[in-house]
Amino acid sequence: MYKNIYNFTPFEHENVDFKNNIINAARNQDQTKVEGALAAVLIYVNLVDYLARHLLENLLKMISIQGFRAFGGVMFFDGSRQRTNISLGGICAELQSFEFPSKTDFLDSLKEFNKLRNHVMHNLMQLDPNDRTGQIDKDVVRIKQLAEDVLNKYNTICLGLTGAWNQANSPRTQPGSSTASSADDKKASSAPDSPS
């Protein structure tokens, strides 16, 4: 994330082309073969975990920056703690603390995905690779559906939150002026870096 609070753009992703290629690889796996199905599940599991973590980190950063600005850096919420060892269930619990558009729908999909993922991953060694009529086929299809659902909901939420962020942080204009006041410009150019 950006350290300078005035350059922060929420929901930016690094290596977007690489991430899109991985998502497309999951979509194009031959799921009639065990290897293809498991590869798709592995990619989707990582995708959903990444999206949930990314949403949480950006929400925390947005609140931290707004608090930093509102109280001149004297008091603010430090949302910079990296959540590297937190499970998807833990991320769901932390996201529950926030209010954002379509939260309940998004969290319901995340929780269902997490439950199904845990079931599949904890029972991999019990699978019979020659039995293609079992529950694993249904689970793999459902994992794919839920991952795509989470991705679509994530994109919608991020689009709405980015619009709200941009509106809240647009330069305030004075009557007869099309730019922010020079005092605001000076403040923005000399502001300290936000804690990261």
Structural contact between residues 59 and 1, judged by C-beta atoms closer than 8 angstroms: no
Residue 20 maps to a domain: yes
Domain containing residue 25 = 16-169
Give the integer Cα–Cα distance in Å for 178 and 134: 65
Residue 187's pLDDT band (cuts 50, 70, 90): very low
Residue 176 maps to a domain: no
pLDDT of residue 129: 64
pLDDT of residue 188: 36
* Orientation angle between helical segments 135-168 and 103-122, nearest 10 degrees: 150
* Higher per-residue confidence, 11 vs 196: 11
Residue 192 maps to a domain: no
Q: How many domains does the chain have?
A: 1
Residue 26 maps to a domain: yes
Residue 195 maps to a domain: no
Within 13 Å, how many C-alpha atoms sit on residue 134's CB side?
Answer: 12
Q: What is the mean pLDDT of residues 5-26?
A: 89
Residue 139 maps to a domain: yes
Residue 35's pLDDT band (cuts 50, 70, 90): confident
pLDDT tens digits, one per residue of 84-116: 678 999 999 999 999 999 999 999 999 999 999
